[in-house]
Amino acid sequence: MKETVVSTMIINCIWCGNELAKETETKDHAFPRGLGGTLDENLWVPSCKDCQTKISHAETEVLTRSEFAIHRLAKNLKPRKPNVLASGLIEPKISLVKNPQIKKYIVVSFRLGETHPKTLPALEIDPKSGEGFIHAEKADDANRLLRSIKDELSKKPRENKLVFEMGTHLLQRLDQEVPADPDFHPRVYLSRRDRLYVCARDPEEALALMRNIVALEAAGTLRERDQGNWQTFEIPAKTSHKIVFVYKQEALKRVLLKIAYAITAAHLVREGQKPLDLPHITQAVIGTNAPGPDIRQALEANTEKLVAWTDCLVCVVAPIDERLLGIVGIYSSWFLVDLGSIKGAPQLSEPFGAKCKAVSKKKQRWLSKQEAKELLAICRRDIF
């Protein structure tokens, strides 16, 4: 009966309101699929493909470039498309580990489903001596890096006289510890998307690095290596990694609004009612409008009663003082989301919610009325 209600009551995209056709209809997970969300228990809302694409951009920003990406690794989630290299990548702005044996920094990459980080091929150059040092897991990886650098240097200058452009990560804007370490040398590395990046302390060091690389190429030094010229080192277990995430806060706000509103809409449909018409929320979710200021993060949950909720995604929504408030927990981080006034909406009188535990057999379910009330009381007392 509930599935019949879903198919007959909602015939428009929940986000833009356009009528859905079979070729444009998708099911938008209330909890992001990339964090473990499923379609279980009808915890989804109908969406057109255009809106789904817009929301996916925000979710990708949060799931790959924010600290929440670490939870995906910790929960051992798998890539959606295991055979597609870009699927499941975690992409922090900085991801370095210092090898204690040779006292050199290595650029590493993380991907869902992999048990160990992968060393990215990199060419570092000592600014004082001009000496180069190549890091890679295999000679083939190092040679791909060298070929990529040589290909860029061989290009003809453009009209603006630029030969090529590379993404640049300037450490002094992102971290204090690594730039202060004399063992760190600037480098060019090749990402798992086969893009070249410069990692240096500041613009001056980055420019000096590129001049040194041009000089090495002119001298014929950037030649391919064979496997016999390599030294192999292992990084000891429990060696600390320097990982810095940089992401758009607006993307996180859009994802939080999406979770709270989608669960509200799915709850109302489950009760045989129409979703609330809150255009300021739906337009913010798809990026037409900027999210409002009524989203704030609480302190990390550290109270004893909240421990049971920190290993899952959870959302409880409640009418409070004629406003609809959502409390969204993404593992150990908690957010208060104000969905706006619900004056004149008598269909919402009690708290409700849902949870998703990515590593359990029954991943996703609705909260009981008692669970929703208890979680709301804990959050209002202990963290908000």
Q: pTM (2 decimals)?
A: 0.88
Check residues 302 and 365 and name the one with the higher pLDDT: 365
Please tell me what DSSP assigns to residue 41: G
Over residues 227-283, the pLDDT tens digits come to 666 777 888 888 899 999 999 999 999 999 999 999 999 999 999 998 999 999 999
Neighbours of 336 (CB within 10 A): 19
Over residues 34-67, the pLDDT tens digits come to 888 989 999 999 999 999 999 999 999 999 999 9
Q: DSSP letters of 308-341? A: GGTTSEEEEEEEETTEEEEEEEETTEEEEEEEEE
| Cβ atoms of 253 and 291 closer than 8 Å | yes
Task: Give the residue carrying structure tokens 């939870």.
Answer: 71
Strands 323-330 and 333-341 turn out to be antiparallel
The pLDDT-based confidence of 345 (bands split at 50, 70, 90) is: low
Over residues 185-236, the pLDDT tens digits come to 999 999 999 999 999 999 999 999 999 999 998 888 887 766 666 777 888 8
Bin 331: left if φ > 0, else alpha if -120 < ψ < 50, else beta.
left
For residue 153, pLDDT beyond 50: yes
| Cβ atoms of 145 and 154 closer than 8 Å | no
Over residues 116-130, the pLDDT tens digits come to 899 999 999 999 888
